[in-house]
Copies of this chain bind each other. A is one copy, B any other.
């Protein structure tokens, strides 16, 4: 892999890894296409938020490059919970759809946590259904939330050891912090989950070998929170008033202190998108195998 270094801090870019995963997804799509199957990802949207639409279009473009069809189901910002539930149930049952994403934000009156339970686990390629999270926790096959998995893949890509290491995860969300803790435990890391009520962050981040920040607070992690050998993965996505995207890391103070930093943008983001496509390809393969099995059983 190629790396850049800024003032002793290696820049852990997601570019090369994302392109490798994207290539993997494309290969899978080509094979399945030769077997007569067109992989399809459905993205359900119900917002007018511009940055969300920008993000969904970026998934669409990446899918196109990988030879995966992307079906955007836009119900508009006034969609009811019932309408969204109906769409998710239909897509879950629809054999030509292999992966489903319910894109946030959703209308204020809608309970997202109830809706994600309607995504059938085999198509839940962003690990949003609580059942997927529970299966991860007990070591059963399930798709992990792509962002959480992107962190682990990035650490592996840059050969940052995980087993036996002390990893501090800052943020306890169900989409990043908690599933990431489960994935890291599975890889034999010792994991500390910190959050807004943890008090001084350095108590947990200074002894850590790896710090992952996913709190959604601009400038949260500073160089003074870190020991010199620490590797930092920034998972924050904060949109500034001028529309630019920044992470949770105060890059100016962390650069020169941390041994490595995965920046925002340019870090886990593109890896996450590539993993969504790879998961969709894996889901398609599993569903096509299951269908073949059913067909051959019914012939007996």
Contacts and interface: CB of A to CB of B under 8 A. Distances in A.
Contacts of A166: 203-204
Contacts of A191: 192-193
Interface size class, chain A? 20 to 34
Q: Tell me the number of copies of this protein.
A: 2
A135 B130 contact: yes
Interface in A168-198: 172, 174, 178, 181-182, 185, 188, 190-195, 197-198
A49 to B, nearest CB: 22
A285 B129 CA distance: 27
A190 B192 contact: yes
A138 interface: yes
A192 B207 CA distance: 12
Contacts of A113: 138-140
A207 B192 CA distance: 12
A266 interface: no
A31 to B, nearest CB: 30
A291 to B, nearest CB: 22
Interface of A: 113, 129-135, 137-140, 163-164, 166, 172, 174, 178, 181-182, 185, 188, 190-195, 197-199, 203-204, 207
9 contacts: A113-B140, A130-B135, A130-B137, A133-B137, A138-B174, A164-B198, A190-B193, A192-B204, A207-B207
